[in-house]
Amino acid sequence: MQKMTAKVDRQATSLLDLSLVSNIIVILIIIGINIVNLVRSNTDQGALVNAATPQLVVIVSLALIVYLGYGCYGAFSTRRRLARVFVSLDDAGVSGVSLPNPTMSEQGKEFSIPFSQIQSVSVDGVAITKKHTALSLKIESDGQGFVVPAPEGLKEIVRLIAEQMSVK
């Protein structure tokens, strides 16, 4: 068997990129609205937001910016953890980095399993964001489970592992 290595699929990480960029754009819009509101509140035109004082609008906006900033940090951290994940197949077996829950702050766990010790291989859903899951490789061996989130060519990887399992 020729050595095959797969990293996380670009489509899965694009969800995190989209979340990160959209949060940054919203933060910039909020800052812009607050600047215009504060400038206009000191003129005869009056503030853009009249429902509350400009100071209260700034405080609420800062709270919203902190919330969106936390979302940016979470998306960036998850993306960084996913960048370290891979799966590799060769004549000896399967190796890579397992990351069963990318949204949590735990780091991936390296693994290496000979084909003879693999009991099952399957496809499972793993949360990439709070609202989105991605199909992931799940390998079980001797009571241990390893999950590789959204590898490129997932169907081909599962097929190759299943073929090597049947050879043993």
Q: Is CATH 3.40.50.720 correct for 4-8+85-167? A: no
- For 138-149, write each residue's pLDDT tens digit: 999 888 899 999
Q: Are 132 and 149 in contact (CB under 8 A)?
A: no
Domain boundaries, the chain: 4-8+85-167, 10-82
- The model's pTM: 0.79
- For 51-105, write each residue's pLDDT tens digit: 777 788 889 999 999 999 999 999 999 999 999 999 999 988 999 999 999 988 8
CA distances from 129 to 45, 95, 134 (A): 43, 25, 9
- Which 3 state secondary structure label does DSSP give 43? coil
- Residue 160 CA to residue 66 CA, distance in Å, equals 46
- Residue 73 CA to residue 135 CA, distance in Å, equals 24
- Residue 47 CA to residue 29 CA, distance in Å, equals 16
